[in-house]
Copies of this chain bind each other. A is one copy, B any other.
């Protein structure tokens, strides 16, 4: 991408939960924008979204949406990414795609800037933003992997409904209200009641019993950490929380790493905030991480059930670091290094 003072940026899927977060983060971080083009389905045409004191109208996402665009941020779902990303690239834009469409494509870098920004150098027009639950885990694990090499990860997630989107947030709210009022619970987004319940079901299931979300955590972790030798197993669970994913992460390392050392190491790590004084009730919490940029890590304990084991509790805002923020951090790297 050619170095410029300011860039023409498009956000595809601008009216969704992540799209709106992208627009607000672009403003917040003062991204060098010449012109911002907001794109969504024809249903959303007529809507406006505030940006730098102006109301920017939403235009329909078409193949011709990307004329003159330098950077296209996609958060419109895998199907639309597959259709429109190539058109954007053809128009000369670099695409940062938040869907799962291109993540495992060997030609496409899958990037968390704190972890593998160097992978951006060989992009061919499309860069993939990883899955939310993977991003926060690799941010917390990369510094440990670098010093002690992680051999195996066992992760259980506690994922917020905003990961599914705005309709799921409404469903949690509506069901909660209905239950408090002794009224019937209606299910539209999830197959079962999510209010006051835990659903061990995120995305579709495969023949082997794993959900797509669980396999994303396996495959994306290996690709981002650039180590196919890391063994990962995951159980991904939706919990009645609006925003921020929590994760219980158990790791086995090749070299011994103490909890104290891991805590110090993570305190120096970019993008990480250690909150770990359990005796004073200090540990990462979904409600505290909301709207924050950092990945919060706490409950760091040596796992004595194996020789070199460690347990961690990792929390981050799934709409920010898990999606919109990471996408924009990738765009910042592209701009900084003229990639």
Question: Which residues of A are in contact with B by a Cβ distance under 8 Å?
Answer: 152-154, 156, 158, 172-173, 176-177, 180, 191-193, 196-201, 205, 208-211, 218, 231-233, 235, 237, 239-242, 246, 248, 250, 259, 276, 278-279, 281, 283-287, 298-306, 309, 311, 313
Smallest Cβ distance from A318 to chain B, in angstroms?
13
Do residues B278 and A205 form an inter-chain contact, with CB atoms below 8 A? yes
The listed residue (B197, B201, B283) touching A200 by CB distance below 8 A is: B283
Do residues B237 and A158 form an inter-chain contact, with CB atoms below 8 A? yes
Once bound together, how far apart are the Cα atoms of A258 and B127, in whole Å? 38
Residues of B within 8 A of A311 (CB): 233, 235
Once bound together, how far apart are the Cα atoms of A158 and B199, in whole Å? 11
Smallest Cβ distance from A249 to chain B, in angstroms?
9
The listed residue (B172, B210, B211, B313) touching A235 by CB distance below 8 A is: B313
The listed residue (B156, B172, B209, B305) touching A278 by CB distance below 8 A is: B209
Quickly give the copy total for this chain. 2
Once bound together, how far apart are the Cα atoms of A259 and B208, in whole Å? 9
Do residues B306 and A199 form an inter-chain contact, with CB atoms below 8 A? no
Once bound together, how far apart are the Cα atoms of A250 and B201, in whole Å? 17
Please list 21 pairs of residues, one from A and one from B, whose beta carbons are closer than 8 Å in the complex, sorted by A's number: A152-B305, A154-B154, A158-B198, A172-B196, A173-B180, A176-B176, A196-B287, A198-B286, A199-B285, A200-B246, A200-B299, A200-B313, A209-B278, A209-B302, A231-B304, A233-B250, A233-B311, A235-B299, A235-B313, A239-B240, A250-B250
Residues of B within 8 A of A156 (CB): 156, 235, 248
Do residues B200 and A242 form an inter-chain contact, with CB atoms below 8 A? no
The listed residue (B191, B196, B305) touching A154 by CB distance below 8 A is: B305
Task: Report the nearest B residue to A153, measured CB to CB.
Answer: B305
User: With contacts A201-B278, A218-B305 known, what are 18 further pairs, Cβ within 8 A?
Assistant: A154-B250, A154-B305, A156-B235, A196-B240, A196-B242, A198-B246, A201-B283, A205-B278, A205-B279, A209-B259, A209-B278, A209-B299, A209-B300, A209-B301, A233-B309, A235-B250, A235-B299, A239-B240
Return the 4 tightest CB-CB contacts between A and B, nearest first. Answer: A231-B305, A156-B156, A209-B301, A156-B248
Once bound together, how far apart are the Cα atoms of A246 and B158, in whole Å? 12
Once bound together, how far apart are the Cα atoms of A302 and B198, in whole Å? 22
Do residues B197 and A286 form an inter-chain contact, with CB atoms below 8 A? yes
Residues of B within 8 A of A278 (CB): 201, 205, 209, 211
Residues of B within 8 A of A193 (CB): 285, 287
Residues of B within 8 A of A248 (CB): 156, 200, 235, 237, 248
Smallest Cβ distance from A134 to chain B, in angstroms?
15
Do residues A241 and B301 form an inter-chain contact, with CB atoms below 8 A? no
Do residues B305 and A233 form an inter-chain contact, with CB atoms below 8 A? yes
Smallest Cβ distance from A238 to chain B, in angstroms?
11
Residues of B within 8 A of A231 (CB): 304-306
Smallest Cβ distance from A86 to chain B, in angstroms?
32
